[in-house]
Amino acid sequence: MPTPGSFLLALQLEGSVAPAQGAAGDIVELITRSSPISKAVLVVLLIFSVASWAIILYKAWSFRRLERQSATFLDVFRRSSKFSEVQAVCASLAESPLVGLFQAGYAELNAQLRAAPPPISPGAAAPRPTLKSVAALDRALLRASSMEVNKLEKRVPFLATTASITPFIGLFGTVWGIMAAFQAIGRQGSADLAVVGEPIAEALIATAVGLFAAIPAVYFYNHFTTKVKVYASEMDDFSLEFLNISERNFT
Protein backbone atom coordinates (compact mmCIF):
# COMPACT_ATOMS: atom_id res chain seq x y z
CA MET A 1 0.00 0.00 0.00
CA PRO A 2 1.47 3.40 -0.96
CA THR A 3 2.65 5.51 1.94
CA PRO A 4 2.85 9.32 2.21
CA GLY A 5 6.63 9.01 1.94
CA SER A 6 6.40 7.17 -1.38
CA PHE A 7 4.07 9.87 -2.76
CA LEU A 8 6.54 12.59 -1.73
CA LEU A 9 9.45 10.69 -3.33
CA ALA A 10 7.52 10.31 -6.59
CA LEU A 11 6.69 14.01 -6.63
CA GLN A 12 10.34 14.91 -6.05
CA LEU A 13 11.49 12.62 -8.87
CA GLU A 14 8.92 14.08 -11.26
CA GLY A 15 9.99 17.58 -10.29
CA SER A 16 13.68 16.82 -10.96
CA VAL A 17 13.15 15.01 -14.28
CA ALA A 18 10.68 17.46 -15.80
CA PRO A 19 13.00 20.54 -15.67
CA ALA A 20 15.85 18.53 -17.19
CA GLN A 21 13.66 17.32 -20.04
CA GLY A 22 12.30 20.84 -20.51
CA ALA A 23 15.81 22.32 -20.64
CA ALA A 24 16.92 19.78 -23.23
CA GLY A 25 13.83 20.49 -25.30
CA ASP A 26 14.44 24.24 -25.06
CA ILE A 27 18.02 23.83 -26.27
CA VAL A 28 16.94 21.72 -29.26
CA GLU A 29 14.25 24.25 -30.07
CA LEU A 30 16.76 27.11 -29.91
CA ILE A 31 19.09 25.26 -32.29
CA THR A 32 16.32 24.56 -34.80
CA ARG A 33 15.25 28.24 -34.73
CA SER A 34 18.78 29.63 -34.92
CA SER A 35 20.17 31.50 -37.92
CA PRO A 36 21.99 29.69 -40.76
CA ILE A 37 25.33 31.14 -39.56
CA SER A 38 24.78 29.77 -36.06
CA LYS A 39 23.82 26.36 -37.46
CA ALA A 40 26.95 26.36 -39.65
CA VAL A 41 29.08 27.14 -36.57
CA LEU A 42 27.51 24.26 -34.65
CA VAL A 43 28.03 21.86 -37.59
CA VAL A 44 31.72 22.80 -37.81
CA LEU A 45 32.15 22.30 -34.06
CA LEU A 46 30.37 18.95 -34.27
CA ILE A 47 32.71 17.81 -37.05
CA PHE A 48 35.76 18.76 -34.98
CA SER A 49 34.34 17.00 -31.93
CA VAL A 50 33.48 13.77 -33.77
CA ALA A 51 36.88 13.68 -35.51
CA SER A 52 38.78 14.29 -32.26
CA TRP A 53 36.83 11.60 -30.39
CA ALA A 54 37.51 9.14 -33.22
CA ILE A 55 41.23 9.87 -32.92
CA ILE A 56 41.09 9.59 -29.13
CA LEU A 57 39.43 6.17 -29.24
CA TYR A 58 41.71 4.89 -31.99
CA LYS A 59 44.93 6.05 -30.31
CA ALA A 60 43.85 4.68 -26.93
CA TRP A 61 43.20 1.26 -28.50
CA SER A 62 46.42 1.44 -30.54
CA PHE A 63 48.60 2.40 -27.56
CA ARG A 64 47.11 -0.33 -25.39
CA ARG A 65 47.89 -2.91 -28.07
CA LEU A 66 51.36 -1.44 -28.54
CA GLU A 67 52.15 -1.78 -24.84
CA ARG A 68 51.13 -5.44 -24.78
CA GLN A 69 53.19 -6.29 -27.86
CA SER A 70 56.22 -4.33 -26.63
CA ALA A 71 56.21 -6.25 -23.36
CA THR A 72 56.04 -9.56 -25.25
CA PHE A 73 58.79 -8.51 -27.66
CA LEU A 74 61.16 -7.45 -24.87
CA ASP A 75 60.60 -10.77 -23.13
CA VAL A 76 61.46 -12.68 -26.33
CA PHE A 77 64.46 -10.42 -27.06
CA ARG A 78 66.00 -10.88 -23.62
CA ARG A 79 65.43 -14.65 -23.53
CA SER A 80 66.77 -15.38 -27.03
CA SER A 81 70.40 -16.26 -27.65
CA LYS A 82 70.36 -15.28 -31.34
CA PHE A 83 68.99 -12.28 -33.20
CA SER A 84 67.55 -14.64 -35.82
CA GLU A 85 65.22 -16.08 -33.15
CA VAL A 86 63.96 -12.59 -32.37
CA GLN A 87 63.50 -11.84 -36.06
CA ALA A 88 61.19 -14.86 -36.36
CA VAL A 89 58.58 -13.32 -34.01
CA CYS A 90 58.70 -9.78 -35.37
CA ALA A 91 55.89 -10.33 -37.88
CA SER A 92 53.41 -11.19 -35.10
CA LEU A 93 54.37 -8.14 -32.99
CA ALA A 94 54.48 -5.50 -35.72
CA GLU A 95 52.54 -2.91 -33.67
CA SER A 96 55.43 -2.45 -31.27
CA PRO A 97 57.86 0.36 -32.19
CA LEU A 98 60.66 -1.76 -30.75
CA VAL A 99 60.13 -4.24 -33.60
CA GLY A 100 60.81 -1.55 -36.21
CA LEU A 101 63.86 -0.50 -34.24
CA PHE A 102 65.18 -4.05 -34.00
CA GLN A 103 64.64 -4.78 -37.69
CA ALA A 104 66.54 -1.65 -38.73
CA GLY A 105 69.43 -2.55 -36.44
CA TYR A 106 69.37 -6.20 -37.52
CA ALA A 107 69.45 -5.24 -41.22
CA GLU A 108 72.43 -2.90 -40.69
CA LEU A 109 74.22 -5.52 -38.60
CA ASN A 110 73.74 -8.20 -41.28
CA ALA A 111 74.91 -5.83 -44.01
CA GLN A 112 78.15 -5.16 -42.12
CA LEU A 113 78.76 -8.81 -41.23
CA ARG A 114 78.23 -9.98 -44.84
CA ALA A 115 80.82 -7.47 -46.02
CA ALA A 116 83.59 -9.38 -44.22
CA PRO A 117 86.78 -9.77 -46.33
CA PRO A 118 87.40 -13.19 -47.96
CA PRO A 119 90.17 -15.48 -46.61
CA ILE A 120 93.68 -14.57 -47.72
CA SER A 121 94.55 -18.06 -49.09
CA PRO A 122 92.17 -20.75 -50.45
CA GLY A 123 92.89 -23.17 -47.63
CA ALA A 124 92.71 -20.64 -44.82
CA ALA A 125 89.71 -20.45 -42.51
CA ALA A 126 87.21 -17.67 -43.04
CA PRO A 127 87.78 -14.77 -40.66
CA ARG A 128 85.32 -14.22 -37.87
CA PRO A 129 82.67 -11.71 -38.99
CA THR A 130 83.07 -8.45 -37.13
CA LEU A 131 81.10 -5.26 -36.80
CA LYS A 132 82.87 -2.63 -38.91
CA SER A 133 81.19 0.54 -37.64
CA VAL A 134 79.31 0.90 -34.38
CA ALA A 135 78.56 4.50 -35.36
CA ALA A 136 76.78 3.34 -38.54
CA LEU A 137 74.68 0.91 -36.52
CA ASP A 138 73.87 3.71 -34.07
CA ARG A 139 72.77 5.96 -36.94
CA ALA A 140 70.51 3.23 -38.33
CA LEU A 141 68.85 2.86 -34.93
CA LEU A 142 68.44 6.63 -34.56
CA ARG A 143 66.82 6.88 -37.98
CA ALA A 144 64.43 4.02 -37.17
CA SER A 145 63.60 5.58 -33.80
CA SER A 146 62.71 8.88 -35.48
CA MET A 147 60.42 7.06 -37.94
CA GLU A 148 58.67 5.17 -35.14
CA VAL A 149 58.10 8.36 -33.12
CA ASN A 150 56.54 9.97 -36.20
CA LYS A 151 54.18 6.99 -36.49
CA LEU A 152 53.21 7.30 -32.83
CA GLU A 153 52.51 11.03 -33.20
CA LYS A 154 50.35 10.56 -36.30
CA ARG A 155 46.94 12.29 -35.97
CA VAL A 156 47.72 13.50 -32.42
CA PRO A 157 48.41 17.11 -33.58
CA PHE A 158 44.79 17.29 -34.77
CA LEU A 159 43.76 17.20 -31.09
CA ALA A 160 45.91 20.27 -30.46
CA THR A 161 44.29 21.97 -33.45
CA THR A 162 40.84 21.13 -32.10
CA ALA A 163 41.74 22.38 -28.63
CA SER A 164 43.03 25.70 -29.94
CA ILE A 165 40.53 26.51 -32.69
CA THR A 166 37.13 25.32 -31.44
CA PRO A 167 36.84 27.88 -28.60
CA PHE A 168 37.37 30.65 -31.18
CA ILE A 169 34.77 29.14 -33.49
CA GLY A 170 32.37 29.02 -30.55
CA LEU A 171 33.28 32.61 -29.70
CA PHE A 172 32.44 33.62 -33.26
CA GLY A 173 28.99 32.04 -32.81
CA THR A 174 28.60 33.91 -29.53
CA VAL A 175 29.51 37.25 -31.11
CA TRP A 176 27.08 36.58 -33.94
CA GLY A 177 24.30 35.83 -31.45
CA ILE A 178 25.00 39.00 -29.48
CA MET A 179 24.88 40.99 -32.71
CA ALA A 180 21.44 39.49 -33.35
CA ALA A 181 20.40 40.46 -29.82
CA PHE A 182 21.40 44.11 -30.40
CA GLN A 183 19.56 44.10 -33.72
CA ALA A 184 16.45 42.86 -31.89
CA ILE A 185 16.84 45.68 -29.35
CA GLY A 186 17.07 48.20 -32.20
CA ARG A 187 13.98 46.86 -33.93
CA GLN A 188 11.87 46.60 -30.79
CA GLY A 189 13.21 49.76 -29.15
CA SER A 190 13.43 47.86 -25.88
CA ALA A 191 16.10 45.99 -23.92
CA ASP A 192 13.53 43.78 -22.25
CA LEU A 193 14.71 40.24 -21.43
CA ALA A 194 11.97 38.77 -23.61
CA VAL A 195 13.54 40.51 -26.61
CA VAL A 196 17.23 39.69 -26.05
CA GLY A 197 16.97 36.46 -24.09
CA GLU A 198 16.64 34.05 -27.01
CA PRO A 199 19.52 35.45 -29.17
CA ILE A 200 21.84 35.46 -26.14
CA ALA A 201 20.87 31.88 -25.26
CA GLU A 202 21.55 30.89 -28.87
CA ALA A 203 24.97 32.54 -28.64
CA LEU A 204 25.85 30.72 -25.41
CA ILE A 205 25.06 27.35 -27.02
CA ALA A 206 27.87 27.96 -29.53
CA THR A 207 30.27 28.75 -26.69
CA ALA A 208 29.25 25.62 -24.78
CA VAL A 209 29.68 23.38 -27.82
CA GLY A 210 33.09 24.91 -28.52
CA LEU A 211 34.23 24.12 -24.97
CA PHE A 212 32.73 20.63 -25.22
CA ALA A 213 34.95 19.98 -28.25
CA ALA A 214 38.07 21.67 -26.83
CA ILE A 215 38.29 20.32 -23.26
CA PRO A 216 38.65 16.58 -24.03
CA ALA A 217 40.98 17.40 -26.94
CA VAL A 218 43.33 19.30 -24.59
CA TYR A 219 43.33 16.52 -22.01
CA PHE A 220 43.97 13.66 -24.43
CA TYR A 221 46.54 15.62 -26.44
CA ASN A 222 48.62 16.05 -23.27
CA HIS A 223 47.96 12.42 -22.32
CA PHE A 224 49.08 11.00 -25.68
CA THR A 225 52.05 13.37 -25.92
CA THR A 226 53.29 12.14 -22.55
CA LYS A 227 52.87 8.53 -23.67
CA VAL A 228 54.85 9.17 -26.85
CA LYS A 229 57.68 10.62 -24.75
CA VAL A 230 57.67 7.49 -22.59
CA TYR A 231 57.76 5.24 -25.67
CA ALA A 232 60.62 7.32 -27.14
CA SER A 233 62.57 6.85 -23.90
CA GLU A 234 61.96 3.09 -24.07
CA MET A 235 63.24 3.06 -27.64
CA ASP A 236 66.40 4.88 -26.56
CA ASP A 237 66.98 2.28 -23.85
CA PHE A 238 66.40 -0.55 -26.33
CA SER A 239 68.85 1.02 -28.81
CA LEU A 240 71.56 1.12 -26.15
CA GLU A 241 70.84 -2.49 -25.21
CA PHE A 242 71.02 -3.57 -28.87
CA LEU A 243 74.31 -1.69 -29.37
CA ASN A 244 75.83 -3.25 -26.26
CA ILE A 245 74.94 -6.78 -27.39
CA SER A 246 76.22 -6.15 -30.93
CA GLU A 247 79.48 -4.63 -29.73
CA ARG A 248 80.04 -7.40 -27.21
CA ASN A 249 79.51 -10.22 -29.73
CA PHE A 250 80.76 -8.81 -33.04
CA THR A 251 83.79 -6.68 -32.24
Query: Cα–Cα distance between 249 and 126 in angstroms, integer?
Result: 17
Taking only the tens place, the pLDDT of each residue in 101-132 is 999 999 999 888 886 665 555 655 556 667 78
pLDDT above 70: residue 5:
no
Average pLDDT over residues 15-41: 63
Give the CA distances from residue 37 to residues 27, 32, 140, 176, 199, in Å, rounded to whole numbers and listed in that order. 17, 12, 53, 8, 13
Distance of CA 18 to the CA centre of its chain: 39
Average pLDDT over residues 232-245: 94
Print burial letters for 111-135: b (CB count within 10 Å at least 16), e (below 16).
ebeeeeeeeeeeeeeeeeeebeeee
Taking only the tens place, the pLDDT of each residue in 152-199 is 999 999 999 999 999 999 998 888 878 877 776 777 666 666 556 676
Mean pLDDT of the residues in the chain: 82
Q: Are 205 and 180 in contact (CB under 8 A)?
A: no
Query: Cα–Cα distance between 162 and 52 in angstroms, integer?
Result: 7
Q: Of 32-36, 67-71, 86-90, 109-113, which range is least confident? A: 32-36
- Enumerate the H helices of the chain as residue ranges: 4-33, 36-79, 83-89, 97-114, 134-152, 156-188, 193-250
Which pTM was predicted?
A: 0.78
> 75-89, 125-139, 221-235: which has the highest mean pLDDT?
221-235
The total number of residues written for the chain in this structure: 251
pLDDT above 90: residue 54:
yes
DSSP code string of 223-249:
HHHHHHHHHHHHHHHHHHHHHHHHHHH
Q: Are 166 and 48 in contact (CB under 8 A)?
A: yes
Average pLDDT over residues 82-92: 90
